[in-house]
Amino acid sequence: MAQDKLSEYRMTVSLVYAHDREGLNTPYNCCRLAGHLLRHQFTLGYITVKGLEIVKRAERVYLESYTSILLVDKKKLEAFYGRSVIPADREMVESSSDEILSGAEDVDVAFLVVGDPFGATTHTDLVLRARELSIPFQAIPNASIMSAIGSTGLQLYNFGQTVSMVFFTESWKPSSFYDRIKENAQIGLHTLVLLDIKVKEQSLENLARGRKIYEPPRYMTAAQCAQQMLETEHERKEGAYDENSLAVGVARVGAKDQKMAAGTLKELCDIDLGAPLHSLVLLGKRTHELERDFIRVVAIDSESFDKGWQALSSLS
């Protein structure tokens, strides 16, 4: 296949598959498999020029809509791209990948995802499936929450492992995130916590009865995350953090109404950062005074923040 026809990854709003050869909120990336896989930020302007070019010439454009959400109306997105956009829910991506890849040997197909194209295992699985079918691809990186979190003023070099926080239920309260946070804390690194979203989910009863009835969408808030973190510490009692540990809650990162709040986990339990998407950063002891000066501006309580920062710095 000609090199100029090979697919390419982009940091835009999609994951694309092409015939000749891949989000606070977060940004989108693009990838092209025998097409393209693209990813970009959650607003229209975050797509790269290269990514937009690929989307505009794609035969089909899919938008993955369950591992994250795009805070742009579908009609506006289609008008901007000049292409119809096909929503791809969990069922389609996990069970109907052949439909997405169909014809990708002969035409460009774009699969758009919010954030990093390989931020979810299902995206990796889709690429592996394309490989099995001898559909070439190339990834194009773009902005994602993993880099956009730098807007907090916290140095990216000081971040450790990223963890995910899911909605707890009465019978299911996974705490694997706690172990990763503890490991980060032991070497003084910040922890980015990505928060759960529930989109097009079925209740156990409807799932068991085979009824295509879906629950209303839910998006975890920074306050809910802080509450569940403290609940887990109360159960584990291993001292990875406590109610006085400093953290930063963020919402709609990169959007015009982006919002941040810094404070103790106890303070963040009551914070309202508004609409989704939210994330949270638990601070580690490896800090810099420039980080302090930057995030102190969004402190819930300056006196409490200064006290917490002093305690944190004394550990290093």
Of the candidate ranges 61-70, 125-134, 189-198, 294-303, the one whose mean pLDDT is the lowest: 61-70
Same domain for 272 and 137: no
Same domain for 103 and 193: no
Query: What is the domain-level CATH number for residue 73?
Result: 3.40.1010.10
Instruction: State mean pLDDT over 90-119.
Output: 81
* Residue 144 known to bind ligand: yes
Same domain for 157 and 284: yes
Give per-residue pLDDT as tens, 213-244.
777 889 999 999 999 999 999 999 999 999 99
Same domain for 39 and 63: yes
- Place 150 in a pLDDT band, splitting at 50, 70 and 90: very high
Q: How far apart are CA 283 and CA 184, in angstroms?
A: 10
Boundary residue ending a domain (87, 109, 143): 143
Is pLDDT above 50 for 24?
Answer: no
Same domain for 134 and 113: yes
Same domain for 94 and 10: yes
* Residue 40 known to bind ligand: no
Same domain for 202 and 250: yes
* Residue 199 known to bind ligand: no
User: 175-209 burial, b if ≥16 CB within 10 A, otherwise e?
Assistant: eebbebbbebbeebbbbbbbbebebebeeeeeeee
Phi/psi at 258 (nearest 5 deg)? Answer: -50, 140
Q: What is the DSSP string of 37-87?
A: EEEEESSGGGS-HHHHHHHHH-SEEEEE-SSS---S-HHHHHHHHTS--EE
Same domain for 213 and 130: no
- The number of folded domains in the chain is 2
- Residue 8's beta-bridge partner residues? none
Same domain for 292 and 153: yes
pLDDT higher for 129 or 295?
295
Same domain for 171 and 32: no
* Residue 116 known to bind ligand: yes
Q: Give the per-residue pLDDT at 44.
A: 66
Phi/psi at 88 (nearest 5 deg)? Answer: -120, 105
Can you give the residue range of the structural domain that contains 63? Answer: 3-143
* Residue 253 known to bind ligand: yes
Boundary residue ending a domain (127, 143, 159): 143
Closest CA to 21 of 127, 138, 117: 138
Q: Cβ(59)–Cβ(108) under 8 Å?
A: yes
Query: What is the domain-level CATH number for residue 225?
Result: 3.30.950.10
Same domain for 125 and 74: yes
Is pLDDT above 90 for 88?
Answer: no
